[in-house]
Every structure is written in C-alpha cells, then in structure tokens.
Amino acid sequence: MRTKRGLWAWLLQRITALGLTVFLFMHVQALHFGTGGRMIDFSLVTERLQGAFAGWWSLFYLLFVPACLFHGLNGLYGILLDYAPSAGFRRFVLVLFWLVGLGMCVFGYFGIRNLFLVPA
Amino acid sequence: MGYLQKIATLKDEVARNPNVGTWSWLLHRLSGIALALYVFPHFWVISSAILVKPGDPTGFNDRLALVQSEFFHIVEIGLIGVIFYHMLNGIRVTLVDFSPTTRYHKLLLGIAMVVFLGAMFYTLYVFNHHYFHLFGMGGGGHAVP
C-alpha cells in the first residue's frame, strides 16, 4: 500500500511538523489554557495581537497559517497516494489542493490582518 | 476496487502487521485526517467573522460566543487530545526518521503515550478550573451557557 513520495514533500512535511509543534503549543497556550477561563472575544485577542509583541505575533501567523495548510493538505495527498490513484486523478487533486491551500492562506491572512488593526 | 472499499481495508493493514506500531500509524492517520478537516471550518469561522467589518467587535464576539458553549468546551478537550496525540506521535516518527532510534520505536511510543496521558490530565484540570468547576475547583471564568 506504500507509495514512493517526493523527497521535498516528505522533508517539508517534517519541517512544517517541527514548526507546528512549537506553533500549536503557543496557540493552545494562548487561546485554550492561558485565558484563565475568560471569554475569548475581540478584546482578548486584540490585547495580545496589538500589545508589545504585535510584530512577533504577525510573524507567527505569517508562518503558522501556511505551515498548517501545507501539512494538512500534503498529509491528505500522501494518504491518497497510498491508494494508488490514476495519474489523472492524482494531478487533479494536486492542483485542487494547491488552489484550496493558497486560497485559504490568503483568506486567513486577510482575516487575521483585521485583528491587528487598531479600531478607529 | 472503489476508494471507499479501499479505505475500509485499513483493518487489514492492522491484521497483516498486528503490532503496536501499526496501531500508532492508524491513529496518526485518523487524527491527521480529523485535524486537516478541522482546520478549514476553523479558518472559516474565525476569518469570515472579522473579514467584512474590520474593527467592529460585535460580529466577531457573537461568532466566538457560539463556539464557547459547554458542548463546545467538551469538544475542545477532544480536539486538544487529537492534537496532542498527533504531535507526540509525530515527534516520535521524526526522531525515528532522523536519528538511530529505530530499534527503540516502541519505547518511544510508550514515552509519548505517558506524556500524552499527562498532557490530557493537565487539560482536564485546566478546563475544569476554567469552565466546569467540578469538585469545587476553580471559578471566576466566563459563565458557560
């Protein structure tokens, strides 16, 4: 059932995995463990994103969003390859995943960008 | 064979190689699929709530309140469990890939699962403190609808 996969797909999966380990620790700490039970709302999120570490948080999301999408979609693509699909279907899914991934990346960036903007 | 039939043969993979590594592989795959499918609605729920009216907290707050009910806090514990399993088993897979620890992969899985159980107890403890307040613990968190 195993299929050979590209070296880059494999290596990038490992690199994004290590990044996501750090990112998800920070994400879970900031939004699940570290809230003290406070309701997550606009003020809680913007206090963090517009605070002293605003620059670091923007770098964080700049890397976190595409790493997340690449790791997820590349993982799903690898699972698909295990089932030996036809070359045409494989190509279709590859193009579809890139379009969906890039689209969601832009969508996520624009959404998060608005949380960095100080309300007028 | 159709794709659905092929996916149904996952249990054959376990039957062919009935070792603990096959179970960890299967759980890694299932948790990976779950997380990949989770991330899209997650992006949608958060991003679409702030995309249209930047600087207007109302829509954002209403949206986020929807996913902070008691039901969703319980789902959240499950989500964190899936993340921790995939993360800890993933660290083990990466260690085995990049270092000469292949012979100790079962020991590494054991360590990963002990850390996993510890992380889940911590998660339950924190969530109880924040939201559920069982056994008279915690308090002061937001009111859970």
**Per-residue pLDDT band at B102 (split at 50, 70, 90):** confident
Q: Minimal CA–CA distance to B26: which of B79, B114, B85? A: B85
Between CA A119 and CA A117 the distance in angstroms is 6
- Given a contact cutoff of 8 angstroms between Cβ atoms, the answer to whether B109 and B92 are in contact is yes
**Per-residue pLDDT band at B143 (split at 50, 70, 90):** low
- Given a contact cutoff of 8 angstroms between Cβ atoms, the answer to whether B141 and A38 are in contact is yes
Contacts of A24 in chain B (CB under 8 A): 83, 87
A-contacting residues in B 102-141 (Cβ below 8 Å): 123, 126, 129-131, 138, 140-141
A85 falls within a domain: yes
pLDDT at A77 over 60: yes
Q: How far is B74 from chain A (nearest CA, A)?
A: 12
A-contacting residues in B 30-59 (Cβ below 8 Å): 32-33, 35-36, 39-40, 43, 46-51, 54-57
Give the model's pLDDT for residue A1. 42
**Which own/partner pairs from B1-5 qualify as long-range (CB within 8 Å, at least 24 positions apart)?**
B3/A83
A105 falls within a domain: yes
Tens of pLDDT, residues B54-87: 777 888 899 999 999 989 999 999 999 999 999 9
A2 falls within a domain: no
For residue B127, the one-letter residue type is: F
**Per-residue pLDDT band at B103 (split at 50, 70, 90):** confident
Are A83 and B3 in contact (CB < 8 Å)?
A: yes
Q: Search chain A and give the residue with CA nearest B88.
A: A21
Tens of pLDDT, residues B9-40: 666 777 777 778 888 899 999 999 999 999 99
Are A114 and B48 in contact (CB < 8 Å)?
A: no
Look up the pTM and report it: 0.87
pLDDT at A2 over 60: no
Whole-number percent of chain B with pLDDT over 70: 88
What number is the average pLDDT over the span B91-120? 89
CATH number of B3-136: 1.20.1300.10
Contacts of B33 in chain A (CB under 8 A): 75-76, 79
Instruction: List the domain boundaries for chain B.
Output: 3-136
Selected for mutation to probe chain B from A16, A22, A107, A117 (highest B CB count within 10 Å) is: A107
Between CA A114 and CA B47 the distance in angstroms is 9
Kindly report the average pLDDT of chain A as a whole number.
Answer: 89
Residue B114 CB: number of other CB atoms within 10 A? Answer: 11
A1 falls within a domain: no
Tens of pLDDT, residues A32-57: 998 888 889 888 888 888 888 988 99
Residue A20 is part of which domain span? 7-116
Residue A44 CB: number of other CB atoms within 10 A? Answer: 17
How many domains does chain A contain in total? 1
A81 falls within a domain: yes
Residue B48 CB: number of other CB atoms within 10 A? Answer: 13
| Strands of B9-99, DSSP E | none
Q: Minimal CA–CA distance to A79: which of B12, B30, B83? A: B30
Using a CB–CB cutoff of 8 Å, tell me whether A41 touches chain B.
yes
